[in-house]
Homo-oligomer: A and B are copies of this chain.
Amino acid sequence: MDRISAQLAFLTEADRLKSVNRATTLCDASRRENSAEHSWHIALYALTMAEHAIRPVNVGRVIQMLLLHDIVEIDAGDAPIHGAPDPEAQAALEQAAADRLFGLLPPDQRDTYRALWEEFEAAETDDAIFAKSIDRVQPVIANLETGGGSWIEYSVTTAQLETRVGSKVKRGAPAIWEALKLRIDRWFEANT
């Protein structure tokens, strides 16, 4: 297959990410958010808030990771932050999904995208640590805007939120977590 056809095959398959729904809703609670629009939104979060990264990041690379980070969900589905999936089974599904989906691309791009996705998943480089922290910020805002959202649905406690979300946001962007924590504490005091 020629290069453009392979690229278009990948991009056309990527369209299906628009039909993968997440646990969180839109900020007006009208419907669940899908992983494609979520990916746009957190790329915009990263662009806007990169100055708060704990160490300097290459925002272009962070955005590339975030554009790609959820594509495996086309085959593997979304694993909700506050759900209880089997992490090993989920990881195996995601590896198979990455093989198939990135495998649609010309080999050089397959390898570049796969490496960016693996870097994001490993969360060891400064770019990936910040990308992972931003990925956890947006659902907090969605829950605050909708009067609790998935926190109510999954009966989340502040201690669980601190472990599952706070620790990850703090690792990459402590100033953002500090700002969110004020709003979160106010919500939990009023509602639990």
Point out residues on A near B: beta carbons under 8 Å. Answer: 2, 4-5, 7-8, 10-12, 14-19, 26-28, 30, 33-34, 36-37, 39-41, 43-45, 47-49, 52, 59-60, 63-64, 67-68, 105, 109, 138, 141-142, 145, 175-176, 179
In the bound complex, residues from chain B placing their C-beta under 8 Å from that of A64 are: 47, 63
Chain A interface, DSSP helix/strand/loop, else mixed: helix
The answer to whether B11 and A41 have CB atoms under 8 Å apart is yes
Bound CA span A60–B60, Å = 5
> Is A26 in contact with B33, judged by CB distance below 8 angstroms?
no
Question: Of B8, B12, B36, B68, which contacts A37 at CB under 8 A?
Answer: B36
The smallest C-beta distance from A185 to any residue of chain B, in angstroms, reads 16
A17 cross-chain contacts in B, Cβ below 8 A: 37, 40
Instruction: Out of B14, B33, B48, B179, name the residue touching A11 (CB < 8 Å).
Output: B48
